[in-house]
Structure 1
């Protein structure tokens, strides 16, 4: 049963039925008990009246009995000395109604069960017994049960109809909401009005509005990302076309070689941009942080430094892994490698020739694991440090080509690992110091330092 209305109606009607039947049963049992006591009292009263007549006109008692449809279900006997049947009703047997000669008792004869009351006269000579069949009591019980249950057959359909109307009216805001959402096109993500919504529906609408807000932000980011990507790709593609045309029209070998060299540089720039874009796309996927294992930050740094050595050698830059403890954090080793590669690539790219770039892994004063890269480049002004995390943002006048995505990638990977990216000046006051600080939860530290590898020069 998937209908909320049907569930509510069935639940309420079922509950009312159970309660009604329970109350009816309790009332029937109590009323049956009271009825039996009243009928027993009538038997005792009848026996007392017969006892009062005994000795006067006892042999004429049956002539004064009224005619009644229940008369054949009531009987009496008067015994002289308890042995000689003096007088009795027409339907009474020849033997005593009950072996008991005092008070109430149950007996069976002629195929019926009887309730019998026995009483002696004041002088102790006459025994009076008055009996009534249990059929009378059963008939009264059945009639009482019918009167109690009959309203249920009428009330339940009326209750179900009333509930259907009331619940339908109560659920009307849901239908209105469904119609409102159904009329929206794919680009309409404005908030649903909750001012007139029932209080029970407001939590759902609040969550729905939060979802709309997240979708709106996500779509806006996708639009900006697409526009920025198109703009960034246009530049290297235009450069490649221009230099290719120059090479095509070159009149000398040197001019052609220079143009082809520019084409290769533009191709490398476009390739780097596409690689960064693919990395961002993977990081934005929902499953980007589901395969965390223990990762040795120093070991990852060694691997990345080995890959960065050729680029550092071209600029005669010495890249050094500073001596320190071996720190392991829970994470994705591939993503952490991408994080360090981007930090080291930026450091090498923006540093002047013949300087040093330092890579450090260790613990902060608060005991948090970190990995840091410092360079001797132009650095980033404090006012720009928050903006450089935006995608495609580059500092004007930096003098180096780049995609403007490196620090965005680093910040996203840090976020996936529950870490934070801190940008500051290098320890020597020159260049940029970029530090990624991880949570101490799940991290391990080994005090044995390893020999730092060097690259470049």
Structure 2
């Protein structure tokens, strides 16, 4: 994760650096062009002002003529009479060709002696004043001024880059803390990761991850509790099997041995039933994969009644089914069939003499599976508690069972998006319903 953060930091910095470089180049280019244009305007203004000042003078004083003849001066001044006679020239050394006596008034560009010049000409009734400057000189000066104007941008770029690198590090620091907290944890640490100071873009991700950790912690706690309860419940039948096996070994051949074999077979059947119930509960636990197949609830109810019918016949319990119409829905056929079978099986085992199974549509048209019996029922105060695992009724001493039936029913119903409701049946016993949302 630290390498991932370093890569993310480098990528963000590279993207911002490219963006900053492009922006800086664009700004520098625009500044350079703007300063060049302003410098050209300034030089043109100086040419014009020099020419106009000389035009208004009657003559050029010796000291002024000496200044204009300074070799370091970039300007060239020439004065012509209206007849074309050169009255004055400050032409420096190296300028082999004079400005033309007849020039375009105002600004113009001319090429003299292999060099480009910027010329401004002003006229009076007696003379023509021309002031010129080499374009190369003024372009050089303009370029220097422009470069000086963008020099701060070039100096600021490394500083801005360093600041951006630091700011990215500061912005990613909360995420780095979360990463370090996650890396420092063991395999069983499922408490929430710290969310203080996280950016708004990252906080929802960490919150979602914390939610996942919370669900995992709940699921692991349920599994640990389930394993502990299952181990406790399996200890008794396995101990009984060991005792029955010892009795079988010590019993004399004949009726005593046959009785021991029958008890051993019954113990094995009870242990197998408990294992089947545990597997059914594990398949219906939250997080377990559930089939989502098209099925007919009425047909599943018929199959569940057929499964329990032999047990009901031995106990003398009348089981009737009311399922007039098909009830199509999507779900796990095995889980729903097992839930219906457990409801009927509980009614038969806990003293009912009549059991009515109904597969019909509820008040809102949603499928509804109902099991009514005339047994002793469950007191209202205990109806929530009976859904706990290995929770047995008051007749635990006389009724065989694992205490997982209603827990399996509730888990299977939740897995299918349904709910289990317990109430008092019209027959006087318990009414158990699996309701799907309408």
Alignment of 1:200-211 (within 5 A): 200=199, 207=208, 209-211=210-212
* Alpha-carbon distance, 1:118 to partner: 2.6
Q: Is this contact kept in 2: 1:297–1:326, CA < 8 A?
A: yes
Aligned to 1:332: 332
Match of 1:396 in 2: 394
1:385 equivalent to 2:383? Answer: yes
Report the CA distance between 1:238 and its aligned residue.
Answer: 1.4
Task: Say whether the 8 Å CA contact 1:77–1:92 is kept in structure 2.
Answer: no
In structure 2, the residue corresponding to 1:374 is in which secondary structure? Answer: strand
Higher mean C-alpha displacement, 57-66 vs 278-287: 57-66
For residue 243 of structure 1, report the CA deviation from its aligned partner.
1.6
Deviations 1:288-332 (A, max 9, x none): 24x424322112222333333333333233322214433222323
> Which residue is equivalent to 1:47?
51
Shift of 1:48: 0.8
CA deviations over 1:154-188 (Å, ceiling 9, x no partner): 43333444455565566555555555554444444
Is 1:434–2:438 an aligned residue pair?
Answer: no
In the alignment, the residues of structure 1 paired with residue 113 and residue 419 of structure 2 have an alpha-carbon distance, to the nearest angstrom, of 99
Q: How does 1:173-188 map to 2 (within 5 A)?
A: 174-188=175-189
In the other structure, the counterpart of 1:106 is: 109
Rounded to whole Å, the distance in 1 between the matches of 2:260 and 2:129 is: 138
| Equivalent residues of 1:243, 1:259 under 8 A apart | yes
Aligned partners of 1:209, 1:82: CA distance in 2, in Å? 98
> Secondary structure in 1 aligned to 2:133?
strand
Instruction: Name 1:38's counterpart in structure 2.
Output: 42
Q: Indicate the larger mover: 21-30 or 393-402.
A: 21-30
Shift, 1:438, TM fit: 0.9
In structure 2, relative to structure 1, the CA distance for the partners of 1:126 and 1:189 (3 Å cut) is: same
SS where residue 272 of structure 1 aligns? Answer: helix
Change (3 A) 1:360 1:56: same
Structure 2: gaps (5+ residues)? none
Partner of 1:143: 144
Contact 2:193 2:210 in 1 (8 A): yes
User: Deviation of residue 23 (structure 1)?
Assistant: 3.8
Corresponding residue for residue 309 of structure 2: 309
Q: Aligned in 2, Cα 1:64/1:176: closer, same or farther, shift over 3 Å?
A: closer
Measured against aligned partners, the alpha-carbon deviations of 1:402-449 in whole angstroms (never above 9, x if no partner) come to 222222222122212221111112232x22211111123xxxxxxxxx
Moved more, 368-377 or 418-427: 368-377
Q: Distance in 1 between matches of 2:171 and 2:204?
A: 17
Aligned residue for 1:443? none
Contact 2:121 2:131 in 1 (8 A): yes
Per the TM alignment, residue 383 of structure 1 is displaced from its structure 2 partner at its CA by: 1.6
In structure 2, the residue matched to 1:284 is 285
What residue ranges of structure 1 are gaps of 5+ in the alignment?
A: 441-457
Distance 1:280 1:146, change over 3 A: farther
Q: Following TM superposition, by how much is the alpha carbon of 1:234 offset from its aligned partner in structure 2, in angstroms?
A: 1.1
Equivalent position SS for 2:327: strand
1:348 aligned partner? 348
Aligned residues of 1:82 and 1:127 also touching (Cα < 8 A)? no
1:78 is displaced (CA, Å) by 3.6
- Provide the C-alpha distance between the structure 2 equivalents of 1:218 and 1:69, rounded to a whole number of angstroms: 91
Matched, 1:6 2:7: no
- Alpha-carbon spacing, 1:148–1:340, altered in 2? closer, same or farther (3 Å): farther
- The answer (yes or no) to whether the contact 1:114–1:132 under 8 Å persists in 2 is yes
Closer/same/farther in 2, CA of residues 148 and 49 from structure 1, 3 Å limit: closer
1:411 is paired with a residue whose SS is: helix
Distance 1:323 1:187 in 2: 49
Instruction: Out of 184-193 and 109-118, give the one that drifted further.
Output: 184-193
- 1:247 alignment partner, SS class: helix
- Deviation of 1:370 (Å): 1.3
Query: Which deviates more, 107-116 or 34-43?
Result: 107-116
SS where residue 400 of structure 2 aligns? coil
Give CA deviations for 1:226-251 in whole Å, capped at 9, x if unaligned: 11111111111112121222122222
The answer (yes or no) to whether the contact 2:78–2:99 under 8 Å persists in 1 is no
Scaled by the length of structure 2, what TM-score is found?
Answer: 0.83
Deviation at 1:35, TM superposition (A): 1.9
1:217 matched to 2:206? The reply is no
| Structure 2 CA distance for aligned equivalents of residues 94 and 147 of structure 1 | 34
2:175·2:198 contact (CA, 8 Å) conserved in 1? Answer: no
> How is 1:438-453 mapped onto 2 (pairs within 5 angstroms)?
438-440=436-438
Q: Structure 1 pair 21/426, CA: closer, same or farther in 2 (3 Å)? A: same
What is the alpha-carbon distance in structure 1 between the residues aligned to residue 421 and residue 288 of structure 2? 25
Asked if the contact 1:75/1:92 (under 8 Å) is kept, the reply is: no
Offset of residue 109 of structure 1:
4.6
Deviation at 1:57, TM superposition (A): 5.2
Q: Counterpart in 2 of 1:262?
A: 263
Query: Offset of 1:75 from its aligned partner?
Result: 3.5
Contact 2:79-2:88 at 8 Å conserved across structures: yes
Instruction: Give the equivalent residue in structure 2 for 1:243.
Output: 244
